[in-house]
Amino acid sequence: MYTNFFYQLRREGVPVSITEWMTLMEALNEGLAESSLSGFYYLARAVLVKSESHFDQYDLAFQKYFQGIDTPEQLLDQVSKWMENPLPAKMFSEEERNELLNKLGLPNWESLKAALEERLRTQDGAHHGGGNWIGTGGTSPFGHSGFHPGGVRIGGESHGQSAVKVAAERNYREYRNDKTLGVRQFEVALRKLRQFSTRLDGAKDQLDLEDTIDETCKNAGQLKLVWTRPRKNAVKLIVLMDAGGSMAPYAQICSQLFSAVHKSSHFKDLKFYYFHNCFYDLLYLDASCNPRRAVKTVDTLNLLSADYKVIIIGDAAMAPSELTMIDGNIFWDVGNEEPGYTWLQRIAKTFSYNVWLNPIPEKYWERVHGYHTIKLVRSVFPMFELTVEGLEQAIKKLMVRK
């Protein structure tokens, strides 16, 4: 049952396992979905989805699979009327009909009508909230904008949307971890690039709680405070960003990354350089790639220690000659005596902690124009997609001890 829904979830990228699917089947067998599509929506999501980052993919799969299946507001009315006079006659006894009404959660219309008439006679004003009078909110069986499984809506609009409508709203699209990054998401991800150290100069002005407890215990319970130097991030970072040309469509996301990196004040040292397509003799200090605002690449390699971590952002799509030929640099007024590929290898060898973030979705790396150069770059640098998930994977790679 619902087997195709399982495959639809997998197609949308929700990592559903057979074990989880069988658990859902057991839950359905126990009636935990309460025979409603909305109940199934929430039950299946609770059982099958392990992270809120996949909620949006789940909603997409649910919408596509159950599109066209809805629960009209009039359904309970239609079933109730049918139960009052089912065909063929005498299909149910009075006792069986009442039992089925209870199982379906359908109201007893005669009792409900009598209760409504009584409230109309005794209520003398507006009422909001509560569970008895006609009004708004609350759990009264009469009124609107509240909740009662067997109530009657009086005025207002329906708020009990069907599961398909809820899924179609895609309220969790911002939770996806395969979406393009924003400034805040960059900042959050970059905070994971930490390697704390207390071996720094400075006064011991921070309370060491663990050592304080230990020394107090050794001191027969008499408090003995232990102070230490503050722990600070010892990570030193170099960011190299491709600018111009085929990177133009990604200018906004690169600007966001630039903002996030410069807002991150927790690095021990931060260097930011630009290049165009590939590294050559110069690294530029701004996105204009003006040779008058540049530093020699070899000087940078000689001056900076090998413990810097390097993040490179670029699409790696270029003419093969830019990687493999002398003077392959497309800036005609700035030649290069060594091929770009040699410079890539030199940077990777100097800074062994390095990653390359590509704004082109990974599924297109083997098909886009310039895929040959993407393959060459990937042979030198570990390459990841420029998404939340890709950045997190890249940071894990940077933090691996070598």
Q: The tokens of 276 are what?
A: 């165009």
pTM of the predicted structure, to 2 decimals: 0.52
**What's the chain's length in residues?**
402
- Evaluate whether 352 touches 306 at the Cβ level (below 8 Å): yes
Domains of the chain with CATH codes: 3-71+167-175 (no CATH), 234-399 (3.40.50.410)
Residue 249: per-residue pLDDT: 82
Q: Which long-range contacts (CB under 8 A, 24 or more apart) does 107-115 make?
A: 107/80, 107/141, 107/150, 107/151, 107/152, 109/80, 109/84, 112/141, 112/150, 112/152, 115/141, 115/142
Residue 350: per-residue pLDDT: 95
User: What's the rounded Cα separation, in Å, for the pair 160 and 163?
Assistant: 9
User: What's the rounded Cα separation, in Å, for the pair 254 and 117?
Assistant: 66
DSSP state of 212: H
Residue 163: per-residue pLDDT: 54
- Evaluate whether 25 touches 40 at the Cβ level (below 8 Å): no
Kindly tell me the number of DSSP H helices and DSSP E strands found in the chain: 16, 14
User: What's the rounded Cα separation, in Å, for the pair 343 and 40?
Assistant: 57
Residue 304: per-residue pLDDT: 93
Q: The tokens of 3 are what?
A: 């087997």
Residue 392: per-residue pLDDT: 84
User: What's the rounded Cα separation, in Å, for the pair 296 and 298?
Assistant: 5
Question: Quick one: CA torsion of 295, 253, 258, 308, rounded to 10 degrees?
Answer: -70
Residue 379: per-residue pLDDT: 94
pLDDT by 10-residue block (mean), the chain, 402 residues: 84 89 89 81 89 81 76 53 53 65 57 66 66 61 53 52 56 54 64 61 74 90 84 81 84 72 72 90 88 91 92 90 84 75 94 93 82 91 88 87 64
Q: Is the dihedral of CA 360, 364, 369, 374 positive or negative?
A: positive
User: What's the rounded Cα separation, in Å, for the pair 251 and 243?
Assistant: 8
